[in-house]
Amino acid sequence: MGNKSKKIVENLLNQAGIGINGNNSWDIQVHNNKLYSRILSGGTLALGESYMDGWWDCPNLDQFFTKVLRANLGVMTLGIRTLIWQFLKACIINPQNKVRAFIVGEKHYDVGNDLYKLMLDKRMNYSCGYWQTADNLDDAQEAKLELSCQKLGLKPGMKVLDIGCGWAGFAKYAAEKYGVTVVGVTISKEQKKLAEELCQGLPVEIRLQDYRELNEKFDRIISIGMIEHVGRKNYREYMKVARRCLKDDGLFLLHTIGGLRSTVMVEPWIGKYIFPNGMLPSIKQLARSVEKLFVIEDLHNFSAYYDTTLMAWYTNFVANWDKIKNNYDERFYRMWVYYLLSCAGSFRARKNQLWQIVLSKNGIIDGYISTR
């Protein structure tokens, strides 16, 4: 069975030009021959866990994933039992309901502000940068913030809601540069703590609050990298909350990672170790969720920039690991490397997208002027 499993995996990888124990930077180096049967029985979850366990390595994991995903290899959809269980669980329950909403905050965003300070840009943006004219992470993230403010048409004195405010990168920038008042909501205690420190003296309020509790009016709403935690069963309610909180002449900017097809569940490894209960919306799912609630004024795809952003985060993480390694362990290090580089490979393969969508309640009478 061992040799048979190896042959199956070897043939699959050959379709993507990937070798086993080869000399290319994208070839995998196998340290445990039980790897092949483990992958065939456990699919992507086993692929990630076996890497965390040190069963295999690859000099350039991002290149490995780019090749695997571009080739549409069946190895990425194996582990049928795991997939069936994930599918049934997603259909039966609402993994992102109000009771479970804070799980991802505790599991991922509370993992340590020390890590994120060293990995992210100086403004602590944990989302895709805008690299059109930028050549470093700080400039790319500031360009994204400026782009977002311009798309919203911010003016001094406006009241802005930031759903999923993170460490207040947008809130701080908008308050400083555009003279607006911002209310930011997060489900992470650690984010709230640091965000309040960073925004001291500014008209910024940070709340530890579920978005479903919001019921007040704002001139503008922004949500950057939040709806990926909302789940398909809650997209409609999320949009209803945004509508009831937006003034009639307001604008809502939704910034989200997106999938190429509609799904009911997250990728198993990402769901278990990185973003519990996460889910990438498709254009179809988003369109259904805004029907009769919003007019789509603008849609901007700059997903290729997420590859660059993730590689910059990876570089920072590896370069600063010695400063924080006493707070974590080697398995966490391998998990985090796998997370950053597998995601970079996915964006490079164009399997994941990044959209900024501008929405209005009633349509802009003279038309919305797109900003790029």
- Residues marked active site are found at 343
- How many C-beta atoms lie closer than 10 Å to residue 140's C-beta? 22
Residues 152 and 220: beta-carbon distance below 8 Å? yes
Pairing of strands 181-186, 204-208: parallel
CA-nearest of 239, 244, 265, 266 to 254 is 239
Helix axes 235-245, 283-290, angle to 10 degrees: 50
Sign of CA dihedral 18, 24, 28, 29: positive
CA-nearest of 79, 21, 73 to 46 is 79
Q: Which pair of structure tokens corresponds to residue 346?
A: 């996915």
- How many C-beta atoms lie closer than 10 Å to residue 72's C-beta? 12
d(CA 314, CA 66): 16
Q: Which pair of structure tokens corresponds to residue 93?
A: 């329950």
What are the phi and psi torsion angles at 303 (to 5°)?
Answer: -65, -25
Q: Which residues of 218-257 are buried (b: 16+ CB within 10 A; e: fewer)?
A: bbbbbbbbbbbbbbbbbbbebbebbbebbeeebbbbbbbb
